Chains A and B, each alone.
Chain A
Amino acid sequence: MPERNAAIVGYGLTEVGKVFGRTARGFAADAVRLAVADAGLALGDIDGLLVNARAGTDLNLSLARTLGLQDLRMLSEVNAFGASAAIMAAQASKAVLAGEAETVVCVFADDPKEENAGGSDAYRATSLTATGFRSAETAAGFTSVNHRYALAARRYMDHYGVTSSQLGAVAVSQRAWALDNPVAQMRTPLSLDDYHRSRWVVDPLHLLDCCLVSNGGAAVVVTTPERARDLPTTPVYVRGWGQAHPGHVLERGSDFGLVTGAAVSGPAALKMAGMTVDDIDLREIYDCYTYTLLVTLEDYGFCGKGEAGELAASGALAPGGALPTNTGGGQLSSFYLWGMTPLVEGLTQLRGEAGVRQVTRHSTAIVSGNGGILDHHGTLVLSTAAA
């Protein structure tokens, strides 16, 4: 366990959702400016920058030049897809604790949504340019990531007896949180009937099992605990981190869909933090699908394998429940900026800035990131108290 903990002292979130007129790089620059201002700092104070971006956007290392940053001691692109935010925060924490840099900004931004196109069009192009082995799967009908997650979800549901209504309970629970989140893209009430009536994307996934598509950007500022003491915001200490990349081989004996990298990454982060799941007040979990939320809660140890569906159906994850989870609505109802979605909500809650949806006990949070088709996992354990 580290003796000192790096601190997140600022975050920035641009307008998100159906926002047009800026590219990913523009959103990223705005997010960095917002984060630095939130921290009570100036751009000239930054000496480290980590950039995460989706392939094909205009966001990359050149963001440093866009912002006019000079004399950086740390500058890299980081990509494990949805696990990147947690991994960037961990890398930044290690760097500032080692004295390699003092004030590191981590940023992600995206612009998948075009003004006159539907949500599903946003990611279509990359799925359909496959050649070789993968094109045989595309030709069979695997034209999107939804198909592959549907396989994982179906396997999980059949193996553990998790029902469609239990998946729906996740969507309903998170929409309830989103109603009190002024940033959330989806703020109309959602019932379980509404969930069941929503169209199939790929059975067993309804539209409301799948995350939103959002334009926008988010950034966080990481610094030393000593610097944090001089800054105006409530510092959020990075108490632990973990990552796991299972490299599932799709062959006999695989637990694809049943157990994920969360089962290694979560316990590692908690151990580093000197905590157990019982010490965690808030769960901010990467929810690209309702299924992902359920399997991650189990793999982190908040309940036994196959039991998270019952947990969701009981209302435990919802406002007023015993295990507040995805308290801003998550990627299902708030916005989708990969791993920045759960991280930003965790910071908001821990700093006591969540307004109507503020959770009373908000000292500790676990934040997850999930990339690829359950290929990459990252975890952060955050606290308002240093070790």
Chain B
Amino acid sequence: MTIPASRDDASAPFFDGLTGGRLMLRSCIRCGHVSRPDTISCPSCHSDELIWIDSSGQGAVVTAIVDPAGPTVLALVELTEGPWIATCILRAETADDVPAGTPVRLEVLDTGRGEPIPAFARAQ
């Protein structure tokens, strides 16, 4: 069962970015720290003055798990900018396909219902 992603006010820029093929992150005006898209207070300096920036879309697997229902490989991916994204790994079948450190690249996924979501695949 696919649960569609839906936007709210806070996430609108994030989903707009995905519609345009980009994964947006938050950058702190005060200290420059780059953090996850859902960040409200900078984890480094606690400022709430954050702007939206593009990510490179490149990263590496932190850890991967498998939901047998799919089967779907889910993972935490560390972007080159630093933040971790909880996402799915496309065209992988087992956690062994994507051990920690495997380079991956963003592929925006249109699930057919609701907003597009970030997904990743092994970088060739």
Minimum distance in angstroms from B96 CB to a CB of chain A: 10
Q: A251 contacts the other chain (Cβ, under 8 Å)?
A: yes
Residues of chain A from 103 to 138 with CB closer than 8 A to chain B in the complex: 128, 130-138
B74 and A251 within 8 A (CB): no
CB-CB under 8 A from B115, the residues of chain A are: 135-136, 139
B11 and A133 within 8 A (CB): yes
Complex interface bits, A152-195 against B, C-beta within 8 A gives 1, otherwise 0: 00110010000000000000000000000000000000000000
- Interface bin, chain A: 20 to 34
Minimum distance in angstroms from B114 CB to a CB of chain A: 6
Cα-based distance from A154 to B98 in the complex (angstroms): 12
B7 and A249 within 8 A (CB): no
Q: Which of A8-16, A197-205, A354-362 binds B?
A: A197-205
Complex partner residue of A133 from B4, B14, B84, B119, CB under 8 angstroms: B14
- Interface bin, chain B: 35 or more
Cα-based distance from A120 to B62 in the complex (angstroms): 27
Minimum distance in angstroms from B63 CB to a CB of chain A: 4
Known: A139-B114, A202-B67. A154 touches B95 (CB 8 A): yes
CB-CB under 8 A from A158, the residues of chain B are: 63, 99-100
A251 and B119 within 8 A (CB): no
Q: B117 contacts the other chain (Cβ, under 8 Å)?
A: yes
Complex partner residue of B65 from A130, A199, A202, A249, CB under 8 angstroms: A202
The closest CB in chain A to the CB of B1 belongs to A143
B86 and A140 within 8 A (CB): yes
Known: A132-B11, A140-B88, A151-B74. A251 touches B63 (CB 8 A): no
**Majority-rule SS of A interface residues:** mixed
Residues of chain B from 1 to 59 with CB closer than 8 A to chain A in the complex: 2-8, 10-11, 14-15, 35-38, 43
Q: A267 contacts the other chain (Cβ, under 8 Å)?
A: no
B70 and A132 within 8 A (CB): no
A141 and B76 within 8 A (CB): no
Known: A135-B5, A138-B3. A250 touches B14 (CB 8 A): no
B88 and A251 within 8 A (CB): no
Interface residues of A, Cβ cutoff 8 Å to B: 128, 130-143, 147-148, 150-151, 154-155, 158, 199-200, 202-204, 249-252, 254, 257
Instruction: Please give me the 4 A-B residue pairs with the lowest Cβ-Cβ distance, nearest first.
Output: A133-B38, A250-B84, A132-B8, A203-B66
